Amino acid sequence: MAQKNKLKYIILGLLGERALTGYDIAKAFTADIGEFWSANHSQIYPLLKRLETAGLITHQLQVSGEKLEKKVYSLTAAGQAQLQDWLHEPTRELTASKDEFILKLYFVQNANDPLLPPMLTEQLNLHQAKLAHLKQQMARKFSDQASQIANYGHFLILQHAIEREQGYADWLARTLAQKNEH
């Protein structure tokens, strides 16, 4: 089952906040939620149909402009219930975070391999760029305490992502610095 249909719950969770189109849901994965899960629209649209057949969500047609039809999905009572069940379930598995760079590092046997400095530098740049982006988001969305409380989950997720990236970048920088000592 590969991952036991977590996407289903993400969709239910998003619809629990407000009614959304499939397109909106797909977009959510390019924002905050994308830090901790990913999904493409080609996975989302079929699943929305299945969830509707299962009675967990419904949709209303909404017309934009002349002809463009949107399907605006919302939770049914059954969907609401399954969402709550999921939230109340214990979460016991710590999924192994797949990280290709770390794997490469693992296979660079020699601590003095000339490949190491450019590899570390490249990753450092990537993580610093991401960190900067996340901090910007944080400043833009959660500058005041009121908004932090109003969107608590949002806020926590961003905070955690920032700390993770900061830690990653620090580790890379430290490892690089140690190489340069010699």
Partner DNA sequence: GCTGCCATGTAAGACGTTACATGATTAA
Partner DNA sequence: TTAATCATGTAACGTCTTACATGGCAGC
By C-beta, is 72 or 157 nearer to a second copy?
157
- Please state, in angstroms and rounded to a whole number, the distance separating the CA atoms of residues 24 and 7: 14
Q: CB neighbours of 176 closer than 8 A, spacing ≥ 6?
A: 117, 120, 121, 124
Task: Name residue 59's beta-bridge partners.
Answer: 73
If one asks whether residue 131 binds a second copy (CB under 8 A), the answer comes out as no
Task: Tell me the closest approach of the beta carbon of residue 34 to DNA, in angstroms.
Answer: 11
Query: To the nearest whole angstrom, how small is the minimum distance from the Cβ of residue 98 to DNA?
Result: 7
Shortest Å, Cβ 174 to a second copy: 9
User: Which region among 41-49, 56-64, 67-75, 82-90 touches a second copy (by CB under 8 A)?
Assistant: 82-90
Among DNA, a second copy, none, residue 149 binds (CB under 5-8 Å by kind): a second copy
H or E element that contains 109: none
Q: Please list the residues that pair with 72 across neighbouring strands.
A: 60
Structure tokens at 146: 């009121």
Q: Which does 177 bind (CB under 5 to 8 A by kind): a second copy, DNA, none?
A: none
Q: At its nearest, how many Å lie between DNA and the CB of residue 99?
A: 12
Helical segments of the chain, H only: 6-17, 22-28, 41-53, 77-88, 100-107, 116-141, 145-150, 152-180
Q: Which span (60-68, 69-77, 124-132, 135-143) binds a second copy, by CB under 8 A?
A: 124-132
Q: Measure Cα distances from 50 to 6, 46, 150 in Å.
A: 14, 6, 32
d(CA 7, CA 74): 16
User: Would you count residue 27 as binding a second copy (CB under 8 A)?
Assistant: no
* CB 167, min distance to a second copy, A: 5
What token pair was written down for 21? 């189109």
Which residues are at the interface with a second copy (CB under 8 A)?
A: 3, 6, 9-10, 13, 16-17, 32-38, 83, 86-88, 90-111, 115, 119, 122-123, 126-127, 130, 149, 151-154, 156-157, 159-160, 163-164, 167-168, 171, 175
